Structure 1
C-alpha cells in the first residue's frame, strides 16, 4: 500500500529515508528538495516529446508514447531505488504528485519496495517552505560597514552554539561587486530558497537566529519577500569597526586574487566611484598597493551603507562601536549585548 504524506511529514521522514525526485534533470537542476536523489522517469527531451504529443494529439496518445519511452528503463529504476533504499523504504515525488510519481510508486511497490508519496508533489513542498518564512521567529540581524568581519562573526557565533542563517554562505556570494571572487557557482534563486528552507525548518524559533544584513539580492539570487520582511523588522546590531581595521581585512581577503580580476570588479562600480578614482585604483593595483584600493572602494560602500542605516524606519537599529576586528571576541560581545536588550 502506497502511503501519502504531507510536505511536513515527507521532509521529516526524508531525514532518514531516501527521497526520490522523478522529475526531469532540468527540473531537478532548477531546484529540488535538498538531499533528494534524481531518478527521472523522462529525460528532458522525452518529456518535451510527450508534452508535444499531448497538445497536438490527445492525452491517450501521450500516455502511450510515455509507456514506450519508459518501458525499457523500468528495471534500471528499480535497481537504482533498491541500491539506496533503507529497509526497502523510499519517498517519491514529482511536480504535482500526479502520474509520474504515482507510476513510479506502483512500479516500486510491485518490485517489493515500500513507497510513500508527497501529496501535491514538489509544488506543495515549495508552498510549505515559503509559508514557513512567515512563521513567528526571533531573528537578529548583524549589520556593519564593508570589511567589518560580519561573516566571520556569524561563523564564530555558530561555533559558540548560536543558531545562524548564513545567507552569503548558502548563496556562494559575499554580497558586493567583489562578492563572487573565490566562490563556487551560485545556485538558482529557487534552489537558494530551498537551501534556506532546509536550515530555517531546523531552527528553534523561540531562540535567537542570527543572520547578516543583506539587500534583497545576494549576487544573482534573491531573498524571498517573507524572509526579507522578517529581516527588515528584526533588531539590527550594526558593528562599527574603524576604517583602518576594515582596510586590513579587505587586503587580507582580496590581495590574493589576480590583478585583472580585481580591475574587472572595480569597473563594475565605476559609475559610482568616478573615473578618476577607478584610475587611481588601477594604478595602485599595478603598484601592489592594495590598501589604497580598499580605501577607495570603501568610500563608496560606506556612503551607501551609512545612508541605508540612517533611512531605516521599520527596524530597531543599535550602533555598536568596536575597536578591533576580532571575530570571536566580537561574537561574544554581541551575545552579551543582545541579552542586555531583553
Structure 2
C-alpha cells in the first residue's frame, strides 16, 4: 500500500469526501482544518506548548524525548484507541498533521503496531492548504459567474435552494453560515476564515470537475463581508465583474419574504405556532423568541450611524411594539411595520448605490418566477 498521499492526488482525495484524522492540537484545528476532518490529536494544547518550549530551550532531541514520555502508557493507549475506532467506522481514513512530519508519522506507526495501515498526507495540512488557495486563485482568474442579484427580500437564497439540484451554483451564505447582513446571523457559529476559504475552494474544484470549462456557475450577489467571513480578493473581483440576473420584486412581496424568513419561520413564529406543546417547551421557545427580538434590536443599534439616529429610534420603537404584541396576544403582524421601514430606509438605498457603482451587465431582469425560468432555460447544463 502507498502510505503517502502525494500532491498530485490532493484533488481526488478531497473530491471523494475522504474521511480525515487531523492529529494536530485542538488550537491548530480550530484555526483551520481540511474539509471532512475530525480532530483526534496526538498532543493536546498543553502538551504541545510544553514540548515547544522544550524544543526552544533544549533542542529537538530533548523535545522528542519529552513527547514520548508524555504520550506513553495509558495516555498512548487511549489515543490509539480513538484513532482505531474512528478508522473502524471510516475505513478509508487518511491521517495528517501540520507538515506531514513526526506527528502523523508516529500516529501511522502506532496504528501499524496494532495492525492498522493507513496513509498520511505528504506535506500535511500546510501542503493541502496551499493547494486549495492556489485552486481558488486559479478558478477566480479563469472563470466568471452569473451573479444573482436583487434588492433585500427578493428571495435570492430560496432561489438558489430551488435550483441546487438542477444547475451548478455556489451558495456563499450556506458556506459562511450567515445571511450576509446586519440581521444575517443564523444562530450557529461561523466557520473560521480558513475553513470558509477551504470549503469555497473545494466547491469550485468540484464545479470544475463536473461542468464544462466555459460554464459560469450561478452565485448570489454578496458584499466583501459575509458576517465575519470575507471573500478572497481575486474571487470577489471575479464576482463583481460578472454579469447579473436581477430579481425585481415589489416592496410588499419583499416584506412578505422577510417576514416569513425572519419572523414566521424563526423562533418567534415557532413560539406561537398552533402545535401542542408542554408548558416547559413553550417557555423555552418563548425565551428563544425574546433573545431573537433582542438580537434584532442590537442589529438596528449597530447600523444607527448609517440609518440615521431618528430613523433608528423609530424602528426600535416599532420593534418593541411588535415584541409587546407577541407577548400579549401571540400576534406577529406588527413586525411588518419595522421590516418595511428597514428595507425602505436602509437596504434599498444601499443596494441601489452599490449596483449603480458597479455598472454591471444585466443578462436578465424580471420577477422571481421569470428569473427562475430564465435560469432553467439558459443556464442549465447537464452533468456529463
**Greater CA deviation, 298-307 or 5-14?**
5-14
Compute the displacement of 1:7 (Å).
Answer: 4.2
Deviation at 1:10, TM superposition (A): 4.3
Q: Could you list the per-position Cα deviations for residues 266-288 of structure 1 after superposition, in whole angstroms to 9, with x for gaps in the alignment?
A: 11111111111122212222333
Pair 1:320 & 2:323 matched: no
Answer whether contact 1:172 1:185 (CA < 8 A) is retained: yes
Q: Name 1:175's counterpart in structure 2.
A: 180
- The match for 1:285 is 319
- CA distance in structure 1 between the aligned counterparts of 2:37 and 2:297, rounded to whole angstroms: 40
Residue of structure 2 in register with 1:219 after alignment: 227
Q: Partners of 2:305 and 2:124 in 1: how far apart? A: 46
Q: Distance in 2 between matches of 1:205 and 1:57?
A: 54
Equivalent position SS for 1:105: helix
1:234 aligns with 2:245: no
Cα distance, 1:112–1:17 mapped onto 2, change above 3 Å: farther
Could you say what secondary structure the match of 2:33 adopts?
coil
Counterpart residue number, 2:303:
269
* 3-state SS of 2:118 partner: strand
Per-residue deviation at 1:63? 0.9
- Alpha-carbon RMSD: 2.4
Q: Does 1:336 align with 2:345?
A: no
* Deviation of the 1:163 alpha carbon: 1.7
Q: Report the Cα distance in structure 2 between the residues aligned to 1:16 and 1:78, rounded to whole angstroms.
A: 23
Contact 1:148–1:241 (8 Å) recurs in 2: yes
Compared with structure 1, are the counterparts of its residues 76 and 7 closer, same or farther at alpha carbon in structure 2 (3 Å cutoff)? farther
Instruction: Give yes or no for contact 2:144–2:238 (8 Å, CA) kept in 1.
Output: no
Structure 1 residue 308 and structure 2 residue 354: aligned? yes
Name the TM-score, length of structure 1 as normaliser.
0.88
What SS does the aligned partner of 2:247 have? strand
Q: Distance in 2 between matches of 1:332 and 1:218?
A: 28
Paired position in structure 2 for 1:195: 199
Spell out, residue by residue over 1:116-145, the C-alpha distance to the aligned partner (whole angstroms, 9 max, x if none). 121111111111111112223352211111
Matched with 1:120 is 123
Instruction: Tell me how far apart the structure 2 counterparts of residues 13 and 338 of structure 1 sit (CA, whole Å).
Output: 29
Structure 1 residues 24-33 or 49-58, which shifts more?
Answer: 24-33
Corresponding position: 1:80 with 2:114: no
Q: 1:7 to 1:245 in 2, by over 3 A?
A: farther
Structure 1 Cα separation of the partners of residues 308 and 37 of structure 2 = 48
Structure 2: tracts of 5 or more residues without a match: 269-288, 323-333
Counterpart in 1 of 2:12? 12
In the alignment of these two chains, the number of paired residues is: 332
Check conservation: 1:154, 1:331, Cα contact below 8 A.
no
User: Does residue 100 of structure 2 align to residue 97 of structure 1?
Assistant: yes
Name whichever structure is richer in helix by fraction: 2
Deviates more, 1:32-41 or 1:211-220: 32-41
Structure 1: gaps of 5 or more residues: none
Q: Distance in 2 between matches of 1:112 and 1:11?
A: 28
| Deviation beyond 6 Å, 4+ runs, structure 1 | none
Contact 1:82 1:88 in 2 (8 A): no
| 2:197 is the alignment partner of 1:156 | no
Aligned residue for 1:85, secondary structure, equals helix
Moved more, 65-74 or 252-261: 252-261
Residue in structure 1 matched with residue 280 of structure 2 by the alignment: none
Q: 1:216 to 1:276 in 2, by over 3 A?
A: same
In structure 1, what is the equivalent of residue 59 of structure 2? Answer: 58
